[in-house]
Amino acid sequence: MADMINLTIDGIPVAVPKGTVIVDAAKKIDNDIPVFCYHPKLKPVGMCRMCLVEVGTPKMDPATKQVVKTEDGKAVIAWMPKLATACTTPVSEGMAVRTNTKQVLDARNNVLEFLLTSHPLDCPICDKGGECPLQNLTLAHGPGVSRFEYEAKNHNAKHVPLGDLIFLDRERCIQCSRCIRFQDDVADDHVLQFHDRGRHMEIVTFSDPPFDSYFGGNTTDICPVGALTTADFRFKARPWELDSTPSVCTHCAVGCNITLNTRLETRTGGHEIKRVMPRQNEHVNEIWTCDKGRFVHHFTRSTDRLTQPLVRDASGKLAESTWEAALQLVADKVRGKHVAGVIGDRLPNEDAFLFGQLLTDVIKTGSVTMSPAIPAAYADIVRGFGVGKDTEFKQIGKGDTILVVNGDLEESAPVWFLLLRQAVVDRGAKLVMAHDHITKMHRYATKTVNYELGTAANWAATETMALGAELKAARNVLIVFGDEKLSADGARALARALANIMIESGHAGKANSGLLPLYPHANTQGVFDALPEQLASTVAVQHGKRQADVAWLIGVGDPADVPQAAFTVVQELFLTDVAKSANVVLPALSFAERDGSFTSGDRRVQRFYRALPGMGQAKPDWWIIQEVAKRLGKSWGFHGTTEIFAALADSRPDYAGLTYELLGVTESQWPPVGRADLYYGGTAYDNTGGVGARYAARAEQSGFTAVSEAVAPPSADMESLQHLPRTLYQAGELISRSKVLAGHVEYRNSEMTRTAK
């Protein structure tokens, strides 16, 4: 930061980068200038007038063009005659700001009194009550009494659905436009707008269907009053009653940091998740999360969760059994047999590691693969040429090139869409889109390349070299790619070709450069890393056709991934189609009921923590694996995931040096949001669970020899063309149990109109 500006705020000197506004500069020295419309992640507008301060600049002598100084050498400050908004005024050299004079305090008091003339003050029934910036600031700066008659207040509609997920209370709205600006500037879904003027000004949605956005939930977080509420949390609990546990979202490769807010509930007779809030991690999701991550939590307390081990009895029915009987049965069945293990990519690293150990070291005649199978075909290439260890999405901007191939960023990794969109739109990175259909990201493309449906791999293998010169000239190259409509061979060929581009353009192994895969779930990379090396990509994709004596499936949803076997063991949350045909079904704990770690698509390893007690007799998957191992004569003696992760880090060179302690380290982040500072950034939670750590791509390590052999793409990849492009609300076991997303899922899956907009 070369351009530092020096100024004084209430006499305290502070140096900040050029372009900083006064509010942020004051925040650096813990001077909280109150704001409503200002948000550090949005462009300032100066609408609410809450941040008025006295501003002065050094007095200049018109004749000499020099700063006028007093006798003791201090600059004479020329104070502006009126107050200025601290959120729109950028700092300048020598500037002086006063935030505690009577004039400023009166202004704050008056602005609050003015805002409260139309505010209903129904705090007791308002969901924001208790974490409301308007409440807090009124208490700190506002008048204690009202001079206005209750009946003279503006009375507006209190229950206005803006779409299925978000409700608007027009009375509470203070017209700060944070929601509008978020939708316009960050999400780029232009669905909200002001209507009318003056006292009649109100928020309306004009899209069809209303509030058509994947990011609507974020507007309720940044709303400084209780005007916007989610259908999920509406009247569910008061904020002060909630317990918060740091966690990680499991639904896509981004690995958004979230906070699970839980509370006692009589219906389930225990704790349940009341809402999911984003948790600040400036390296990952900043303070955002998508609506899928926010609203697909109901499965954790779904009434059809498995709570007892089930064993198929003599009559061929799955009957309730005990852990002892079920585990002994499994141990007897797998001993000495050929066991084909499949583990889903939502499972944490620890479980995948232990499962691999069980099948290769204990049972010895086992083999293990992951589900879905296709990412296993190229996850090793990502490990080699993935984004550099020190990559920060925030630093990608002018001079950098982002290439997006064969994947819809918004549908597959919504928060990466937000971050990379800002890199292009706000910071001037170049965007090259190579697709067979139009996605939302195409709006910002500097260059668009089209290829025929399903031929991404062929295109990448033959024609990407045309981009060579352009990529070589770029400061950094980030390549985002997906495996939509590709077979395993095709996906591997695509990843290989893209890795070759990285090598040839000289960007392999650099920070802010590398491959960014659009994996289907939170731990695709982690499961691949944790499983034994023998998971060769070519074997991995065959497992649907595998035959074995025993099939052992952990969290496998796709029947196509199930090996043929005489005896099937399933570890699941629900009695899925796969579980229904199993011989033994073992109930597992969901991510909210246990702890563990996930490795996101950009190879950041992150911890999540236990927020809820388990359902029934369900157990964590690692416990089940360990118990079977014990019955086969191998006693690991792990007490928890900490020890398993330590063992994992010992045996996987990429994870060397990573410990739970390291992953749990937090750091001070900018902008400061969270409990102690509600009004600045909304109600996102500060990070108490750790920001995680990214392990280095192999291309970054010394002694890495770049292997640039090209993989020939399959000539006819027609089988895979049956796959539709991935959508965020793709029907599935978890999303079908969400109480609020049901209508949305139906719409998305029937219409598929999104790309045509």
Catalog residues that contact another protein under the rule CB under 8 A. Answer: 120-122, 124-125, 129, 150-151, 155, 158-159, 234-238, 240-241, 264-266
Q: Provide the minimum distance between the beta carbon of 234 and another protein in the complex, in angstroms, as a whole number.
A: 6
Helix and strand element counts for the chain (H, E): 22, 31
Distance CA 631, CA 616 (A): 23
Q: Taking Cα atoms as reference points, which of 192, 62, 752 lies closest to residue 439?
A: 752
**Taking the complex as a whole, how short is the minimal distance between the CB of residue 226 and another protein, in angstroms?**
11
Picking from 555, 568, 584, 603, the residue whose alpha carbon sits closest to that of residue 351 is 555
Residue type, 503: I
Nearer to another protein, 121 or 465 (CB): 121
List residues bridging with 403 in a β-sheet.
432, 479
For 30, other C-beta atoms within 10 Å of its C-beta total 9
Nearest to 624 by CA among 591, 588, 572: 588
The CA-based angle 274-279-280, given to 5 degrees, is 160
- DSSP, residue by residue, 450-500: E--TT-HHHHHHHHGGGGHHHHHHSS-EEEEE--TT--HHHHHHHHHHHHH
How far apart are alpha carbons 576 and 569 in whole angstroms?
13
Q: Which residue, 236 or 435, is less far from another protein as judged by CB?
A: 236
Quick one: 29 or 157, whose CB is closer to another protein? 157
Residue 188 or 202 having the CB closest to another protein: 202
Shortest separation between residue 272's beta carbon and another protein, angstroms: 11
Peptide bond into 713 cis (omega under 30): no
Question: In which element (H, E) is residue 379 found?
Answer: helix 379-385
CA proximity to 108, closest of 79, 83, 145, 75: 83
Minimum CB separation of residue 125 from another protein in Å reads 4
Pairing state between β 84-85 and 4-9: unpaired
| Cβ contact 421:391 at 8 Å | no
3-class DSSP string for 688-743: CCCCCEECCCHHHCCCCCCCCCCCCCCCCCHHHHHCCCCCCCCCCCCHHHCCCCHH
CA 239 to the chain's CA centroid: 22
CA 531 – CA 514 distance, rounded (Å): 23
CB of 235 to another protein, least distance (A): 5
To another protein, the closest distance from the beta carbon of 167 in angstroms equals 10
Residue 56 is classified by DSSP as: E
**Which is nearer to another protein, 227 or 254 (by Cβ)?**
227
- Min CB(239)–another protein separation in Å: 10
Instruction: Say if CB 523 and CB 394 are below 8 A apart.
Output: no
Closest CB to another protein among residues 2, 152: 152
Residue 294 CA to residue 692 CA, distance in Å, equals 21
In whole angstroms, the minimum distance from the beta carbon of 5 to another protein comes to: 45
Distance of closest approach, residue 161 Cβ to another protein, in angstroms = 12
Residue 159 Cβ, how far from another protein at the closest point, in Å?
A: 6
Element (H, E) at 323: helix 323-334
Of 132 and 494, CB closest to another protein: 132
Closer CB to another protein, 267 or 545, in the complex: 267
CB of 156 to another protein, least distance (A): 10
Structure tokens of 148? 């206005």
Q: What are the distances in angstroms from CA 32 to CA 23, 100, 227, 245, 627?
A: 8, 11, 24, 27, 54
Q: Residue 703 is which amino acid? A: G
Q: Which residues are within 8 A (CB) of 108 and not within 5 positions of it... i.e. 6 or more apart? A: 34, 50, 52, 137, 141, 142
Amino acid (one-letter) located at 215:
F
Task: Name the pairing type of β-strands 564-572 and 192-195.
Answer: unpaired
Compare residues 240 and 703 and give the one whose CB is closer to another protein.
240
Q: Which is nearer to another protein, 185 or 265 (CB)?
A: 265
Which runs of consecutive H residues, i.e. helices, occur in 523-588?
524-530, 537-540, 577-580
Report which of 195, 103, 208 is spatially closest to residue 157, judged by C-alpha positions.
195
Report the 10 Å Cβ neighbour count for 664: 18
For another protein, the closer CB: 6 or 154: 154
Of 85 and 229, nearer to another protein (C-beta) is 229
Smallest gap, in angstroms, from Cβ of residue 456 to another protein? 48
> Closest by alpha carbon to 262, among 678, 612, 739, 738?
612
Residue identified by tokens 């450069």 is 513
What single-letter amino acid sits at 630?
A: K
Contact at 8 Å (CB) between 513 and 507?
A: yes
Which of 261/401 has CB closer to another protein?
261
Specify the DSSP class assigned to residue 294: H
Compute the least distance from the CB of residue 692 to another protein, in Å: 35
Which residue number, 240 or 756, has a Cβ lying nearer to another protein?
Answer: 240
Contact 453, 406 (CB under 8 A): no
What is the nearest approach in angstroms of another protein to the Cβ of residue 129? Answer: 8
Residue 13 or 240 with smaller CB distance to another protein: 240
The least distance separating another protein from the CB of residue 230, rounded to whole angstroms, comes to: 13
Q: Give least dist CB 138 to another protein, A.
A: 16
Measured distance CA(529)–CA(376) in Å, rounded: 10
- CB 203, CB 179: distance < 8 Å: yes
Closest to another protein by CB, 120 or 682: 120
Q: If you search the block for the tokens 């807010």, which residue do you land on?
A: 261
158 or 338: CB nearest another protein = 158
Q: How far is the CB of 160 from another protein (least distance, A)?
A: 12
At closest approach, how far in Å is the CB of 739 from another protein? 13
Which is nearer to another protein, 145 or 469 (by Cβ)?
145
